[in-house]
Amino acid sequence: MAVIRAVGVADPASPSGCLLYIVTNLAQTPLSDRLRALVDTVQHNERTLRRFQDVELRLIGAQDFASFLDTLFVHLPQEFALASVSVWLDDRAPMLRDLLEPAALRALDQHRLKTSREGGLAASRLCETGRPWLGRVGEMDAVSCATFFDDAAMPASAIVLPLAAGRKVSGYLCLGSQDSARFGVGMATDILERFASIVTASLDNVAHRERLKQLGMTDSLTGLSNRRYFDERLREEIQRAARYSVPVACLFIDVDCFKRINDTYGHLTGDRALAAVAACVRQQVRLGDTLARYGGEEFAALLQGDRSDALIAAERVRHAVERLDLQDDNGERIALTVSIGVAARTIVGGGHDAAAQGQSLIEAADRAMYQAKNKGRNRVEVLGDDVREGGDKA
Q: How far apart are CA 337 and CA 181, in angstroms?
A: 68
34 CB neighbour count, 10 Å cutoff: 15
Angle subtended at Cα 33 by Cα 32 and Cα 39, rounded to the nearest 5 degrees: 90
The residue among 339, 217, 215, 337 whose CA lies nearest residue 277 is 337
The residue among 335, 331, 313 whose CA lies nearest residue 323 is 335
Q: How far apart are CA 92 and CA 125, in angstroms?
A: 18
Cα dihedral sign, 383-386-391-394 = negative
Residues 393 and 324: beta-carbon distance below 8 Å: no
Q: Is the pTM of this model over 0.85?
A: no
Side chain identity, residue 225: S
In this predicted structure, what is the pLDDT of residue 53? 87
Q: How far apart are CA 227 and CA 231, in angstroms?
A: 6
Q: Which domains does the chain have, with CATH numbers?
A: 3-215 (3.30.450.40), 227-382 (3.30.70.270)
Residues 51 and 146: beta-carbon distance below 8 Å: no
| Residue 163, strand partner residues | 171
Side chain identity, residue 137: V
Q: Which of 56, 79, 237, 297 is catalytic?
A: 297
The residue among 283, 286, 228, 278 whose CA lies nearest residue 258 is 278
Give pLDDT tens digits along the chain (394 positions): 444 444 444 443 343 344 444 444 545 557 777 777 777 667 767 777 888 888 998 998 888 899 999 999 999 999 999 999 999 999 888 778 878 888 788 888 888 999 999 999 999 999 988 899 999 999 999 999 999 998 767 899 999 999 998 778 999 999 999 999 999 988 888 889 999 999 999 999 898 888 777 778 889 899 899 998 899 889 888 888 888 888 999 999 999 999 999 999 999 999 999 999 999 999 999 877 899 999 999 999 999 889 999 999 999 999 999 999 999 988 999 999 999 999 999 877 665 677 788 899 999 999 999 999 999 999 999 986 444 443 332 3
**Concatenated DSSP letters for 223-282?**
-SB-HHHHHHHHHHHHHHHHHHT-EEEEEEEEETTHHHHHHHH-HHHHHHHHHHHHHHHH
Going by DSSP bridges, is the β-strand pair 84-89/113-114 parallel, antiparallel, or unpaired?
parallel
Q: Given its phi and psi angles, is residue 249 left (phi above 0), alpha (psi -120 to 50 degrees) or beta?
A: beta
Known active-site residue 297: yes
31 CB neighbour count, 10 Å cutoff: 8
Residues 251 and 365: beta-carbon distance below 8 Å: yes
Q: How far apart are CA 151 and CA 241, in angstroms?
A: 38
Q: How far apart are CA 390 and CA 300, in angstroms?
A: 23
Q: How far apart are CA 190 and CA 55, in angstroms?
A: 17
